[in-house]
Amino acid sequence: MDISVVTTHPFEDQKPGTSGLRKRVARFRQPHYLENFVQSVFDSQPALEGAELVLGGDGRFHNREAIQTILRMAAANGVGRVVVGRGGLLSTPAASHLIRSRGAAGALILSASHNPGGPEGDFGIKFNTAAGGPAPPSVTDAIHARSQAITHYRILKEAVHVDLDHLHATALNGMDVEVIDPVAAYADLMDQLFDFHAIRELLAGDFRLRFDAMHAVTGPYAEALLVDRLGAAPESILRAEPLGDFGGGHPDPNLTHARLLREAMFGRDAPDFGAASDGDGDRNMILGRHFFVTPSDSLAVMAANAHHIPAFADGLRGVARSMPTSQAVDTVAEARGIPCYETPTGWKFFGNLLDDGRIRLCGEESFGTSSDHVREKDGLWAVLFWLNLLAVRRQSVETIVREHWERFGRHYYTRHDYEGIRNEHAEAVMERVRDRLATLPGQSLAGQTVRAADDFAYTDPVDGSVAEGQGLRVMFESGARVVFRLSGTGTEGATLRLYIEQHETAPDRLALDAQEALRPLIDAAGELGNIPALTGRERPDVVT
């Protein structure tokens, strides 16, 4: 089959963000746009030649077309074999597992995660390395540099169409293509990590659960695991069918976007346990009956209860959290005498710590938790962790969390997002706060004394690489914190994130409403950033 060498020109906007390259679908469908980025991956990653590449996506609009294009390009670039999930589907954690278990050289995962889909929505692509995790900054920088100098890309001349809907093996210009079950290997891995027998017993009783797949990729995974292997009632899974536009919603598991689930869990006759995942299956939201578990608390509860889970029989060694995540897990780590690392936002920063065996559990405030079983955050893994814990402790989600607070204190936590504001407005807020960092220590804000304030920079303890400009931190003597950060996953304007936390140990102050408990700090942060005046927004768009 003939190969075309197509002449092209760089697109100036191909710099990957927090997690891959995300743009509007229309941008991605522009001639050469996807091709340029994919060729930049092949050009900057010579290890893919002759090797195996894992390929799949979250099923959003344009997923299948992009897969056909990438297959033709992989064949024209000398890739040895491509393993594709049936239907073009692979959750992000399942792709990570396939890389590691098959010894593949990397993966291309087509997803814009929690961003909306459909023809008017977003599309995305991320490259994971042979270690299984998201490409670190050194790799994304190399891909980006290549995209800015690209002149040609290689693709099979003929518009061959590989059947993605049946399990089979075929060849494309000498390259092997294998269409595999996207779920089986991942489900087997879960079976090794958790006590499925105990969970089956729990679900065989009067325990009821709801899982909201949000019409994204986790539907087939949840059905295989929760229903087929663990015996949950089929109607436990909401919105199980992956749809190109996610049924019109944001596949973002929080109380705003997972409204159906929220109503079920806070309504009459609510189930015992509720959970949701996002577009590509790496996020999780955990709920009990009439009870919401913040992601930061979920991570801390996991750290405190890991010994109940078979996978952690040998202990945790260490844990890590992204900088804006609450310090609830630090408190547990301290009590257990294990290290707790603080990394910048984005899963790629956990990779070295996991590979080096320094940590076995990590998480982010943005509904992401996972362990060393893969190199990605993992939504269904978190759900199974909680189910395993509930099966062992035989207490409600609420009781487990309240007992945790009694023991370790409660880290009141909230994140306020100002979405789609003008770039210059977001920058103005950041600059104003940055300008004040040096003079903040010793000052009093909201009746509390500032201990330190900085622009967070991280030196990776394994390879010494440095990441700067990772968010502005204001830290108080009480341990409270206020963090300002700009999102790196949006596709339109800027999103300003304000993260606020405060530790509370007084027994009579553990059951307050988080927004109320944090009100003085929220107001002080708004003033410090002069947010209403500089952005024209009186209140945030999303509060979690």
Footprint of ligand VG1 on this chain (CB under 6 A)? 18-19, 113-114, 278, 282-283, 322, 345-347, 364, 366, 368, 487-489, 497
Task: Based on the shown chain and the rule CB under 5 A, indicate whether residue 122 belongs to the binding site for Co ion.
Answer: no
Decide whether 35 or 280 has the Cβ nearer to Co ion: 280
Residue nearest ligand VG1, Cβ-based? 113
Give me the torsion for CA of 516, 520, 526, 532, rounded to 10°: 60
35 burial (CB, 10 Å; 0-12 / 13-18 / 19+) is buried
Task: Based on the shown chain and the rule CB under 5 A, indicate whether residue 91 belongs to the binding site for Co ion.
Answer: no
Select the binding partner of residue 321 from Co ion, ligand VG1, none (C-beta < 5 to 8 A, by kind). Answer: none
> Which DSSP letter does residue 79 get?
B
Helical spans, DSSP H, in 155-195? 184-193
Select the binding partner of residue 370 from Co ion, ligand VG1, none (C-beta < 5 to 8 A, by kind). Answer: none
CA atoms within 13 A on the CB side of 190: 29
Site for Co ion in 166-195 (CB under 5 A): none
Select the binding partner of residue 366 from Co ion, ligand VG1, none (C-beta < 5 to 8 A, by kind). Answer: ligand VG1
Residue nearest Co ion, Cβ-based? 113
> Contacting Co ion (CB under 5 A), which of 280, 297, 330, 376?
280
Copy the structure tokens of residue 270.
Answer: 């609510």
Least separation in angstroms between residue 10's CB and Co ion is 28
Strands (E), 388-434: 410-421
Decide whether 468 or 477 has the Cβ nearer to ligand VG1: 468
Select the binding partner of residue 212 from Co ion, ligand VG1, none (C-beta < 5 to 8 A, by kind). Answer: none
> Which DSSP letter does residue 227 get?
I
Decide whether 178 or 419 has the Cβ nearer to ligand VG1: 419
The strand pairing partners of 1, in sequence order, are none
Least separation in angstroms between residue 177's CB and ligand VG1 is 26
Least separation in angstroms between residue 368's CB and ligand VG1 is 6
Give residues with Cβ within 8 angstroms of 438, minimum separation 6: 453
Select the binding partner of residue 501 from ligand VG1, Co ion, none (C-beta < 5 to 8 A, by kind). Answer: none
Strands (E), 100-159: 106-110, 122-129, 152-156
Decide whether 288 or 490 has the Cβ nearer to ligand VG1: 490
Least separation in angstroms between residue 458's CB and ligand VG1 is 14
- Rounded to 5 degrees, φ, ψ at 315 are 95, 175
Select the binding partner of residue 487 from Co ion, ligand VG1, none (C-beta < 5 to 8 A, by kind). Answer: ligand VG1
Closest residue by Cα to residue 379 from 501, 456, 449, 276: 276
Known catalytic membership, residue 113? yes
Task: Based on the shown chain and the rule CB under 5 A, indicate whether residue 278 belongs to the binding site for Co ion.
Answer: yes
Decide whether 296 or 345 has the Cβ nearer to ligand VG1: 345
Residues that bind Co ion (rule: CB under 5 A) add up to a total of 4
Name the strands in the sheet holding 472-476, side by side, starting at the edge strand that comes first in the sequence: 444-445, 448-455, 472-476, 481-486, 494-504, 410-421, 542-543
Least separation in angstroms between residue 340's CB and ligand VG1 is 17
Select the binding partner of residue 364 from Co ion, ligand VG1, none (C-beta < 5 to 8 A, by kind). Answer: ligand VG1
Phi-psi region of 201 (alpha: psi -120 to 50; beta: other; left: phi over 0): alpha
Decide whether 199 or 483 has the Cβ nearer to ligand VG1: 483
Give me the torsion for CA of 78, 81, 87, 93, rounded to 10°: -110
Q: Which positions from 449 to 488 touch Co ion by CB under 5 A, shown as an x/- string?
A: ----------------------------------------
Rg, the chain, Cα only? 23
- Identity of the residue numbered 384: L
Binding window for Co ion (CB under 5 A); candidates: 118-126, 235-243, 273-281, 468-476: 273-281
Task: Based on the shown chain and the rule CB under 5 A, indicate whether residue 282 belongs to the binding site for Co ion.
Answer: yes
48/133 Cα distance (integer angstroms): 15
Least separation in angstroms between residue 283's CB and ligand VG1 is 5
- Identity of the residue numbered 184: A
CB atoms within 10 A of CB 406: 12
Site for Co ion in 24-43 (CB under 5 A): none
Decide whether 39 or 489 has the Cβ nearer to ligand VG1: 489
Decide whether 331 or 470 has the Cβ nearer to ligand VG1: 470
Q: Contacts for 258-266 with beta carbons within 8 Å, 24 or more apart? A: 258/212, 258/214, 258/285, 260/212, 261/210, 261/212, 261/285, 261/287, 262/287, 264/210, 264/238, 265/210, 265/289, 265/290, 265/291, 266/290
Least separation in angstroms between residue 37's CB and ligand VG1 is 17
Give residues with Cβ within 8 angstroms of 403, minimum separation 6: 395
Decide whether 57 or 409 has the Cβ nearer to ligand VG1: 57
Catalytic residue among 19, 91, 111, 113: 113
Binding window for Co ion (CB under 5 A); candidates: 237-245, 270-278, 284-292, 348-356: 270-278
* Interface ranges with Co ion (CB under 5 A): 113, 278, 280, 282
Q: Which amino acids are annotated catalytic?
A: 113
